[in-house]
Amino acid sequence: MRLALSLLATLACIAPCRAGELPAAVAERMQPYTGDVPGASLLILKDGKPVVRRGFGYADLEQHVAATPATDYRLASVSKQFTAAAILLLAEDHKLALDDSVRHWLPSLPPFADRITLRQLLDHTGGLLDYEDLIEPAQTAQVGDADVLRMIAGTDHGYFAPGSAYRYSNTGYVLLGLVIERASGMTLPAFLKARIFAPLHMDHTLLYEHHRGPAVPHRAYGYSFIDGHWQRTDQSVTSATRGDGGIYASVDDLARWDAALYDDRLLSDASRALAFSPHVSVTGEPYQAQYGFGWRITGETLWHSGESIGFRNVIVRWPQRHLTVIVLSNRNDPEPYRTALQLAQPYLAR
């Protein structure tokens, strides 16, 4: 708790405290986000303190709203670490077990899903078909979690035998979100708020549901560079699913999340070890990594990217160095993972 209060105090004072110029290397790396363009928010944490905390460009081009450290971005797949944490919390509560069949919780799934466990959904070894590939090409209405469950209920096979291979699965994390609701007796937004966001004082973070609210408090809108200019592309057919990517958060709130990952204020030591342990090798990607529960593991880093229409995000943690770099952006390009690694280099060299 003392660490949490210390972080809150540091974040509260950082705006008036950062009178110095932005380091030249940071300004250079963040130059694409600077000016009258869709922007980004950057946070570099070293030893629990923000050493760089800055917004660049605009969160809303039409209304000329500048991006700040308090701007809330759609996290896309960075949300998966929160879905995984929620499952681990329910396991600690003995409300479910990681080796439960997903069909135990979602009985409308087809019989072959009896062999798929929650653990396999967490590390992408369940093999369920990608719901994105089951959407009719002409569909314009957004797909919700119930639609995903219905589509998968109508399948009679997966990509491979459960546990035999890796294939990144948004389907699996949508279903995990539904399992959280069944096991907890709460809606997914309510459970995440009650068990993760509120205890950590992530007061402006929420799982956004367009038709139910509440509204995103300091919302960034997504943009894509099309036909020579930036166009708002904030939502797509797949932007309404929840467990795989529906959380909005700011870098300030993610600083509180990062702090909680160093101790047992939220998750037990055993649960964090499960989340951060390499369970399977990532395949089919242009990088080397293994996968835990909602986290990729490369060397000494724990990281995850998030991409949806108009948003590109990444969080990269070096827990042994107590270093974290978070880049959230409301644009389709550039992909920020390499930028985050480059921004970390001066602090890794010390």
Q: What is the pLDDT of residues 17-55, one digit of tens each?
A: 343 479 999 999 999 999 999 999 999 999 999 999 999
Rounded distance between C-alpha atoms, residue 140 and residue 138, angstroms: 6
pLDDT reported for residue 8: 45
> Strand 40-46 and strand 323-329: pairing?
antiparallel
Q: What is the DSSP letter of 219?
A: B
**121-140: per-residue pLDDT in tens?**
999 999 999 999 999 999 99
pLDDT reported for residue 6: 45
DSSP for 71-122 reads -BEE-GGGGHHHHHHHHHHHHHTTS--TTSBHHHH-TTS-GGGGG-BHHHHH
pLDDT reported for residue 240: 95
Rounded distance between C-alpha atoms, residue 323 and residue 299, angstroms: 14
Rounded distance between C-alpha atoms, residue 76 and residue 312, angstroms: 8
pLDDT reported for residue 1: 44
Query: What would the two tokens of residue 189 be?
Result: 């937004």
CA distances from 231 to 4, 174, 221 (A): 39, 28, 10
Closest-CA residue to 8 (of 44, 42, 50, 43): 50
Domains and CATH numbers, the chain: 72-319+334-348 (3.40.710.10)
pLDDT reported for residue 80: 98
pLDDT reported for residue 320: 97
pLDDT reported for residue 21: 75
pLDDT reported for residue 9: 42
pLDDT reported for residue 19: 38
Pairs from 179-187 (Cβ < 8 Å, separation ≥ 24): 179/87, 179/96, 179/102, 179/105, 179/106, 179/118, 180/83, 180/86, 180/87, 180/90, 180/243, 182/105, 182/106, 183/90, 183/95, 183/96, 183/105, 184/90, 184/95
**Coil, strand or helix at 149:** helix
Does residue 216 contact residue 34 with C-beta atoms inside 8 Å? no
Which residues partner with 117 through β-bridges?
Answer: 101
For 237, phi then psi, to 5°, come to: -60, -30
Average pLDDT by consecutive 10-residue portion of the chain (350 residues)?
44 40 93 98 98 98 98 98 98 98 98 98 98 94 97 98 98 98 98 98 96 92 97 96 98 98 98 98 96 98 97 98 98 97 95
Query: What would the two tokens of residue 316 be?
Result: 């990269």
